[in-house]
Amino acid sequence: MKLPKLILSNDIIQVYQKQLGQWDNLNHLIVCRKTKKACIVDPFDGSFWEDFCQDNNFQIEQVWLTHSHWDHIKGVEALVNSTVFSPVVRCHELEQQRGYNAEYVQWWSHNEHSFETCVIGELEFSVHCTPGHTPGHVVFIGNGIVISGDCLFLRSCGRTDLLGGDAGKQRASLKYLQTIFTHISGTNLVVPGHQYQLQDGTTPTVMELSKVINSNEALMAIEDDDKWASLPFLSFDDDLAAKARRQEAQQS
């Protein structure tokens, strides 16, 4: 398997990116340059990241989850059960609304559309609670990077028709992020949870924030009711949506 791509590197931070799995998942490894302490965001393959970090003398101390869909937590168990590392796993407690309640998780508990601070080594990030794709979805911002998970893709945003999804909350979360974005540099790199094709046929995995703000279809629709309602990617007529309807019926 090919090595992950180094997408950000300077005196304080390194960020590695790797596409893993059949759902085009993008995994991100944050490394504090000074301490070599590392955090993996949404691990799809825990063994892959364990091997890579061992080979590079990185110490995986934390696992951060943007949300609890299976393709974003698939590799967590392997890291929790690692004989090499003993990472702390963090997730927002609102994900428990969709049934995720792993005993080893340490829960963030801040309100929707607010943030807490988290630290890896000497690096500080803000953890923004951005519900919509799931009840407790979070976005990580700091040190020149925006790890947006499935709240915000480069062209669009995550679907809202799965268990715990809410199109109204997704719209509000994008409005919230839009406000946050006015206070950070447009040169920040946005890295989403999946690699999807843009309108021009390209499939980038990284994009500067200024370009995302000016081209993202979801962000450009949030102030217009008709445009928002007509977005084609908020819901789909597929097996996943049917499963979500059955799950919601069982809960009611």
The answer to whether the CB of 63 falls within 8 A of the CB of 38 is no
Banded model confidence at residue 216, pLDDT cuts 50, 70, 90? very high
Cα–Cα distance between 176 and 172 in angstroms, integer? 6
Q: Where are the domains of the chain?
A: 5-251
With cut-offs at 50, 70 and 90, classify the pLDDT of residue 241.
low
User: Token pair of 242, please?
Assistant: 């049917």
Listing DSSP states for 184-203 in one string gives: S-TTSEEEESB----TTS--
Name the pLDDT band for 244 (thresholds 50, 70, 90). low
CATH number of 5-251: 3.60.15.10
State residue 168's pLDDT score.
98
